[in-house]
Amino acid sequence: MNVSLLASPQFYSRTLYIVGCISIPIHILAGYCILFQTPVSMKSVKWNLLNLYFWSTFMDIFLSIITQPFLTPPSISGFLMGLIHYTGLDTGIVLYFGITMMAFVGVSIVSIFENRYFILCGQNTWWRRVRCPFLIVNYLLASIHYVPTLIEIPEQTAGRKGMFTMYPKAKVFDNPDNPIYVISYEKNDWYAIREASIILLFTAELIGFVIPVQIYMRRAVKKFNLSEHSISIQKSFLRALHLQIAIPVLIMLLPHVATAILGIFVSTSQVTMNISYIVISMYGVFANLTMMYVHKPYREYCKSRFCSSSRVDHFVSSTGLFSTHTAQFFSLTLYTIGFFSFPIHLFGGFCILFQTPESMKSVKWSMFNLHFWSSCLDLTVSLLTQPYLLKSTWSGIPYGILIKFGVPLSLQSYMVSTLFCCEFLNALELAMVAASIITIFENRYFLIFAEHTWWRHARYPFLAINYILGLLYYLPTVLSVPEQSSAREIIFHEFPEFRPLDTPSNPVYVLVLNNPWVSVRQIAMEATVVIETLIIVLLLKMKMKNVVKEMKMSESTAKLQRAFLKALYIQVSLPLLVILIPSAISVFSGILGISTQSVNNLVYITFSCHGLVSTIVMLTIQMPYREFCMGMVGKSDRRQRKVTVSNISARSSTQVTTF
């Protein structure tokens, strides 16, 4: 059986070895910084930082070099490809240590924030007696939470037989010298409940320490319990600590979120699983790089060793082009993305209009509708408006092409928000793009199941209402914009650092001051879009299962419909991640009080790539468009190049198809 290059064990193993070898010197440098470059002012947190560093680094090396767990979805099974494979150790015990190590990373994150809470708030309270038992219980829970799963592991011969019966495609990866190890091949709710419970517990504990520290810092400022200098130092350190934790944790969570989304809408593929675990294996690298960047003593040490050029520093500081918080960086990056993506959008539109085969005629205009609004969104954000949003406020400055032609700021704001169903600072969903996504799935549902039902009368009013809501929901916000002069003064009083950005030719535009109804309208619109999409997708999945069971549709027809729906789910899901990921970062940074102008800029730059990613994914996964693109560069899917990859872990018979 042939597998693609990205799905192959060989690609997975070699990539992990490369990642592991590259990461080792970074881990060593980070350890040296903690041990020998931590100043006296950070002494109280030194060993907590070292504890987090140890478990994060050990987890990286364990995943990338020692074990290399190759998981075979959708069952909970796999085999080890790392160095430990040659030792003959029991796979179940190795997995126990791997899962426990991940849990220890969670405990070490909780410990570092507990340390801050204890030093700032709890030294003279009952917490000084409770903290040691609390931490011991956490480590015990991390150590034993996986034991019930180990006890439930089936006898392996019977387990593999049952798994191959349910998932015959997994048999291609099985080998007598290194057989697939089955943890569970049937649905196991208790396994998911245990893992979710331990994650929720550590998350709740983390929030339980972060919030009191934030409250304490605010009260200290008001009551002058701490000097201005002490407060500034504590705030800077906490901000650095939040970033050090948040960025690597997102690196670990995002692959899980992507896998979960694809698992809900499609089925988790081997390629998705491989890439997810490769990204997860880099958690420690990101954690250590972030730590060395956000903590000033380590950053200064690294800079003195590796970046000693004063000319480079002067150029960066004078131009602002490489400072992610500046308007220059923001505008230049968006112009670059916009001009790069424009021909790709045109090419995507050409493919839909002139390369869509007769078999896809029923979905052609729905796909073009989605492509049109996604492209408009991209070009509006990256070229026409370029809304440079000011952190922690509902205000900003446009730097796009429209400002050169004197287009009113209220109209520019309306354009972006109509295309982009979003909070002005934390965009979460698209309005017109979202309506077009609903349209494309509704089109599938109507053509397959509802052509001769009451839905044929209701669908047009339903779609019309969606588009009308997308056009009108933002009008009340635009009509209630405050008087700009006084609104700007209020913003500048709270955030004086924004005043230099205000110029007579391009003043700061304040959209909202204190209007909770704006958020209510945004949330209501977003909830409507999400609920409608989920209902249609679930109806499609349920109906598809029923028609096959009741023999109302042939197996071959059902297979074709499933394949097209699968491609459609991927086409929609992957670009949506481009929106959800920066939104999550923005929300987390706001909750943790670490929202910065750099985060705002990077979030909106990522948003502006939504249509580009959507177009590239469409051209890649829809076979007619892929065939056309491959034909243009002298290749064809029908003449795939098969490469037999060298034997790793005795899997020399696996053929890999590159595409």
Residues 253 and 367 in one domain: no
Extract the tokens encoding 471. 């056009």
Residues 558 and 468 in one domain: yes
Residues 282 and 344 in one domain: no
- Name the DSSP letter for residue 308: -
For residue 303, what pLDDT band results from cuts at 50, 70 and 90?
confident
For residue 352, what pLDDT band results from cuts at 50, 70 and 90?
very high
Q: Give a yes or no: residue 403 inside a domain.
A: yes
Residues 431 and 525 in one domain: yes
Q: Which residues of 307-344 are buried (b: 16+ CB within 10 A; e: fewer)?
A: eeeeeeeeeeeeeeeebbebbebbbebbbebbeebbeb
Residues 435 and 563 in one domain: yes
Q: Give a yes or no: residue 647 inside a domain.
A: no
Residues 431 and 465 in one domain: yes
Q: What is the pLDDT of residue 591?
A: 56
| Whether 609 contacts 378, CB under 8 Å | yes
Residues 330 and 301 in one domain: no
Q: Give a yes or no: residue 174 inside a domain.
A: yes
Q: Give a yes or no: residue 649 inside a domain.
A: no
Between 17 and 307, the more confident residue is 17
Between 235 and 655, the more confident residue is 235
Q: How many CB atoms lie within 10 A of CB 357?
A: 12
pLDDT digits (tens, 9 = 90+) for 569-604: 777 777 777 777 776 666 666 655 556 777 778 888
pLDDT digits (tens, 9 = 90+) for 394-406: 788 888 887 767 6
Q: Give a yes or no: residue 370 inside a domain.
A: yes
Q: Give a yes or no: residue 225 inside a domain.
A: no
Whether residue 389 is predicted with pLDDT greater than 50 in this model: the reply is: yes
Lowest mean pLDDT among 75-84, 276-285, 302-311, 341-350: 302-311
pLDDT digits (tens, 9 = 90+) for 68-125: 999 988 788 999 999 888 788 888 889 899 999 989 999 999 999 899 889 888 888 8
What percentage of the chain reaches a pLDDT higher than 90?
A: 17
Residues 501 and 605 in one domain: yes
Smallest CA-to-CA distance from 105 within 133, 74, 63, 71 is with: 63
Between 233 and 457, the more confident residue is 457
In the block, which residue shows the tokens 């597998």? 3
pLDDT digits (tens, 9 = 90+) for 461-512: 998 898 888 777 777 877 788 888 888 888 888 888 888 888 887 788 888 8
Q: What is the pTM of this model?
A: 0.55
Mean pLDDT of 183-206: 82
For residue 365, what pLDDT band results from cuts at 50, 70 and 90?
confident
Q: Residue 474's domain spans which residues?
A: 325-639
Residues 274 and 353 in one domain: no
3-state SS, residue 3: strand
CATH number for 208: 1.20.1070.10
Residues 533 and 594 in one domain: yes
Residues 251 and 375 in one domain: no
Between 391 and 628, the more confident residue is 628
Residues 331 and 299 in one domain: no
Number of domains the chain contains: 2
